[in-house]
Amino acid sequence: MLSSEADSFPANAQTFSILEVTPHLSPDIRGGIPLNVDSLATALRRRFEVTVVANWMGSKPPPKDRDYSLRTFRTRVVVLGNPVSRKMLIWLVQNTDGFDIVHAHSHLFLTSVIAIFIGKLKGKRVVLTNHGLVSLSQPVLLQHVWIGFLSKTILPMCDKVVCFTEEDADRLLAFGGKRNQFVIAPNGVELAGFDLVNRTLEGTLRAVWLGRMVREKGLQDLLTALTQLRHLHDRIRVTLVGEGPLEAKLRKYAKSSDLDGMVTFLPWVERRDVPSILASHNIMILPSLSEGFPRVAIEALATGMPLLCSSLPQLTASLENCAIYFRPGDPSDIANALSWAEQNRDQLLVLGRRGRELVKRKYAWDATVTNWQNLFDSLLTRSGSGNSPREFKRKNIVRDRLSWRR
């Protein structure tokens, strides 16, 4: 059993240094990886000296109020979705010697691959976190070729490869790699920031989605599904919160399909405003086509919010029987799930109660941070105390899941 509190760092102990290398960081780019890196780096400052290195794409200056050291590089060159900075490469070559661990985020980005190579060349402990196998923003076949190449060249350089779910580890292992390299470290949420909300689910069913508007999130399928539910226009409302390259296209489709009365677009909100957005809605819908383990899903569950989401293996295994599942990429199945939810609100309340308990049991943020601290401790000392993230072993997936189908 994981401990419920992150251990404090003894004042007289040696302080090790962690170099976090990420392709993007919030608020420059909104999305899962940037938010995850920021939250983790902030939490790890309890025990380690942490430096985050990131590309910076926008015109606004980087933040100066972070608890960790931040080094950003203005980046204008993007190749197949990969920001490339010559200055970052030079900085990594010149400065990696000063760190004990190099932690790279996502095998899909050239920045991370370069950091792994340099880290290994410098004799450092190297960790890679997998944030999802592929991105639908680029050709999937090309990414499979890339992953196959990395599995034979770059992954063997990593001391550990961290996955949020066993299903993601299984998929990445299929391309190669050693099983004992892989550890499972589920994402988490601070329960204190996401209080239980007493939802009655009366009146209009208000569904919400939050995130970055990119193809893999399946938002086009969601809007197409809503065109099949016009007879429920006064019973179902969907709010899309976020921004991204597909925003203009999605807005145009919603308008041309006369969905203005069923769909509302809201701009990206700061992290501190997410709890209030969740509290003002009844359910969350996640029509993702490809996904790692979305933090927003467990944030919603923490408030007792029912979920409707794609039946991706990593989601069904992680969210267990706390969601209603539909086939990814199938607008008709999404429409049927929404229709079922509108007619079975008492069962949605059951899902919400289960979800809160699931988060308390498996996805508490303190346990997440402790996992990471102990993983890094074990790499640095080879005798880390406490509970480390578990090594990957195939287990039976939970079968007791709800579906809108009966």
Instruction: For the chain, give every domain's residue range.
Output: 17-188+364-391, 192-361
Q: Work out the average pLDDT over 10-25.
A: 80
CA 351 centroid distance within chain: 21
Q: Work out the average pLDDT over 357-377.
A: 93
Asked whether the beta carbons of 312 and 328 are under 8 A apart, the reply is yes
Q: Which residues contact 173 (CB under 8 A, 6 or more apart)?
A: 179, 182, 392
CATH number of 17-188+364-391: 3.40.50.2000
CA atoms within 13 A on the CB side of 329: 7
Q: How sure is the predictor about 32, in pLDDT bands with cuts at 50, 70 and 90?
A: confident
What's the Cα-to-Cα distance from 164 to each of 11, 132, 380, rounded to whole Å?
Answer: 31, 9, 22
**pLDDT value at position 240?**
98
Q: Which residues contact 366 (CB under 8 A, 6 or more apart)?
A: 3, 4, 5, 6, 188
CATH number of 192-361: 3.40.50.2000
Place of tokens 């509970």: 387
Check if 17-188+364-391 and 192-361 are the same fold: yes
Could you read off the pLDDT of 151-170 as tens digits, one per residue? Answer: 999 999 999 999 998 888 99
Question: Is the predicted pLDDT of residue 34 greater than 80, yes or no?
Answer: yes
Look at phi and psi of residue 242 and say left if phi exceeds 0, alpha if psi is from -120 to 50, else beta.
Answer: left
Cα torsion at 82, 83, 85, 89 (round to 10°)?
A: -50
Q: How sure is the predictor about 382, in pLDDT bands with cuts at 50, 70 and 90?
A: low
Q: Is 189 helix (H, G, I), strand (E, B) or coil?
A: strand
Asked whether the beta carbons of 295 and 368 are under 8 A apart, the reply is no
Q: How sure is the predictor about 388, in pLDDT bands with cuts at 50, 70 and 90?
A: low
What's the Cα-to-Cα distance from 102 to each of 3, 16, 365, rounded to whole Å?
Answer: 25, 12, 22
**pLDDT value at position 399?**
32
Could you read off the pLDDT of 172-220 as tens digits, one per residue? Answer: 999 987 888 999 998 899 888 899 999 888 899 999 999 999 999 999 9
Mean pLDDT, rounded, of the chain? 88
Q: How sure is the predictor about 292, in pLDDT bands with cuts at 50, 70 and 90?
A: confident
Question: Is the predicted pLDDT of residue 137 greater than 80, yes or no?
Answer: no
